[in-house]
Structure 1
Amino acid sequence: MSDFTSEFWHLYVAGLTVVSIIACLILLWISGTTKVNASSDNTTGHVWDEDLREMNNPLPRWWIYLFILTCVFGFVYAALYPTLGKFQGTLNWSSAGQHTDEVKKAVDSTAPLYAKFNGQPPEQLAGDAQAMAVGERLFMNNCAQCHGSDARGSKGFPNLADADWLWGGAPDAIKTTLNEGRQGVMPPMAAAVGSAEDVRNLAQYVLSLSGSPHDSIQASLGKSKFGACAACHGMDGKGNTAMGAPNLTDAVWLHGWGADAIIKMVNEGKHNVMPAQKGKLSDEQIHVLTAYVWGLSNKPAAK
């Protein structure tokens, strides 16, 4: 009810609830006391489908008792739980409060386990089979939606099981990524590169950096245009983890391989987001998840 600024709505909801329950009881009383003029054969005179007649029989007592019990239950429930507008109920229960209590119980129950993990560096923790089982569950619940259950990613979502890292693959870099998230921005660079022909030549040069099939003549013409890209990717094209600029000399293509994909990237740019997990996961959980993600590409021996 916090969205309403007037007390009217609180009273309206509470009044409507109480009146509805009372109205049900009144309806039951009226139906039980109203006399119907019945014929000698105990029918009311209403006939359907030529021979289907309405009998003047009272409601079964078990049905009446059950109806009354339901109404009584409604009054008791309204007194105990939030039902009548903004009245919280005598038990002061709320779904948010219950969730908080259950989360606290879960945190308290796992605190000794995480305390044990927290005392180990990620490189050591990655070899702990128990910690990695916990890390795998954290990954499946929070990361697999984008990176896949096998952590190998898909188009636009990095593969976490190889040695290619946009922002660095050291445990500290991974933990920073998990805590703070990342904003990967490739601005449209066509204007800085030159004409459409220059962009096509540049695409061939970028392909040549990784040894991919390319047109060598166009690549030689596009080499001079790579200066517009070198500020982020470096003159050697090996990228810059401080900026999240990918290495263009390997065979990893996050947003698609080939001249067309490169031309599209140069013309349109790209904006990728890795959401921050801090606040969603505890520091202890992020520590274990860091070790798990680091271990995906470093394959430490399990203990």
Structure 2
Amino acid sequence: MSDFTSSFWPVYITAISLGGIFGCVWLLWLALRAKVQPDSDNTTGHVWDGDLREMNNPMPRWWMGLFLITVAFALAYLYLYPGLGTYPGALQWTQTGQFEKEVARGNEQAAPIYAAFKDKTIPELAQNGQAVAIGDRLFMNNCAQCHGSDAGGSKGFPSLTDGDWLWGGEPEQIVETITEGRMGNMPPMAEAVGEPQDVRDLAQYVLSLSGSPHDAARASRGQEKFAACAACHGEDGKGNTALGAPNLTDNVWLHGWGENAIVERINKGMTNVMPAWGAKFTPEQIKVLAAYVWSLSHKGEAEGGAAAAQ
């Protein structure tokens, strides 16, 4: 367990915060007690260039007043807001609560815009320029970090611009993916396949399914080992969108191409997670975002419909 879960740290933070504030008060009190003695020349005794003397005057009262105001502000702030260990503050303010309020206010302001899209289907929204523009902004702000600004994906993050869909590319499937997220899990299968050479033969067979360069003799030996994979990928290797099992017969390689990459997946397995966005987006926002994502792989339909609408 992390040291920062110890009860020592809240006490430590509280002591440092209050100690610093009351330390300033103590210094101000000492400064206020300083008096200029009548029989003193009121210097520190430091002299430079014969005539330049360092005076020992007390701080101006207005300056000390500013310090006292700062101390009062600090104490009031720490009473109202969190800053003293586990004390939540009288106002119960949190960053999460502030964020949720701002999101709710933004959604309320945007509600009239999304109301115009409420009764339209996702293919219809994909033909609506305003809806697509809004979906594009939602995508760039929330999805581009993984899928890329052009939605072309990268290693480990699928492209959304082709017709290859791990969990299905129908409008309702895209909505479900965005709303609930997805977790794809391929367990390590080396033990079920057999010896290390059997794993490499199986990798050659997988390469043959997509017409990739492969060793035909080794692929033939690996074919019988594919039975361990067929439960998810299907006997024909074309995948299963209900399980998120990819199609092995096309030329899309999410985690790398080649014998070594396939062997690594068989030996180590792989877990990929798409986070759920249902808690952040409203159903209307998800619908518009889904329409934008759907349009990326149906450009002909979306652009043709938009032209006809004009």
For the aligned pair, the TM-score class normalised by the smaller chain equals 0.7 to 0.9
The aligned counterpart of 2:215 is: 215
Residues 33 and 152 of structure 1: is their aligned pair in 2 closer, same or farther, counting only changes over 3 Å? same
Are 2:35 and 2:58, in contact at CA under 8 Å, matched by a contact in 1? no
The aligned counterpart of 2:247 is: 247
The aligned counterpart of 1:112 is: 112
The aligned counterpart of 1:291 is: 291
The aligned counterpart of 2:93 is: 94
Residues 259 and 46 of structure 1: is their aligned pair in 2 closer, same or farther, counting only changes over 3 Å? same
Q: Give how far 1:146 is off.
A: 1.2
Are 1:203 and 1:222, in contact at CA under 8 Å, matched by a contact in 2? yes
Cα separation, 2, equivalents of 1:130 and 1:164 = 27
Cα separation, 1, equivalents of 2:257 and 2:88 = 60
Aligned length: 292
Residues 103 and 221 of structure 1: is their aligned pair in 2 closer, same or farther, counting only changes over 3 Å? closer
Are 1:37 and 1:44, in contact at CA under 8 Å, matched by a contact in 2? no
Cα separation, 1, equivalents of 2:178 and 2:222 = 37
The aligned counterpart of 2:226 is: 226
Q: What amino acid does structure 1 have at the position aligned with 2:134?
A: V
Q: What amino acid does structure 1 have at the position aligned with 2:64?
A: I
Q: Give how far 1:191 is off.
A: 2.4
Give matches, 1:164-179, under 5 Å. Answer: 164-179=164-179
Are 2:185 and 2:269, in contact at CA under 8 Å, matched by a contact in 1? yes
Q: What amino acid does structure 2 have at the position aligned with 1:271?
A: T
Cα separation, 1, equivalents of 2:244 and 2:201 = 24
Q: Give how far 1:251 is off.
A: 0.4
Cα separation, 1, equivalents of 2:282 and 2:239 = 32
Are 1:166 and 1:246, in contact at CA under 8 Å, matched by a contact in 2? yes
The aligned counterpart of 1:82 is: 81
Residues 137 and 161 of structure 1: is their aligned pair in 2 closer, same or farther, counting only changes over 3 Å? same
Q: Give how far 1:192 is off.
A: 2.3
CA RMSD across the alignment: 3.3
Residues 43 and 163 of structure 1: is their aligned pair in 2 closer, same or farther, counting only changes over 3 Å? same
Are 1:38 and 1:45, in contact at CA under 8 Å, matched by a contact in 2? no
Give matches, 1:1-303, under 5 Å. Answer: 17=18, 24=24, 27-36=27-36, 42-46=42-46, 53-74=53-74, 81-82=80-81, 86=87, 88-89=89-90, 92=91, 94-96=93-95, 97-299=97-299, 300-301=302-303, 302=306
Q: Give how far 1:290 is off.
A: 1.0
Q: Percent identity?
A: 57
Cα separation, 2, equivalents of 1:225 and 1:149 = 40
Cα separation, 1, equivalents of 2:25 and 2:203 = 79
Are 2:36 and 2:42, in contact at CA under 8 Å, matched by a contact in 1? no
Q: What amino acid does structure 1 have at the position aligned with 2:81?
A: P
Structure 2 gap ranges (5+) = none
Which deviates more, 214-223 or 66-75?
66-75
User: Structure 1 length as normaliser, TM-score?
Assistant: 0.82
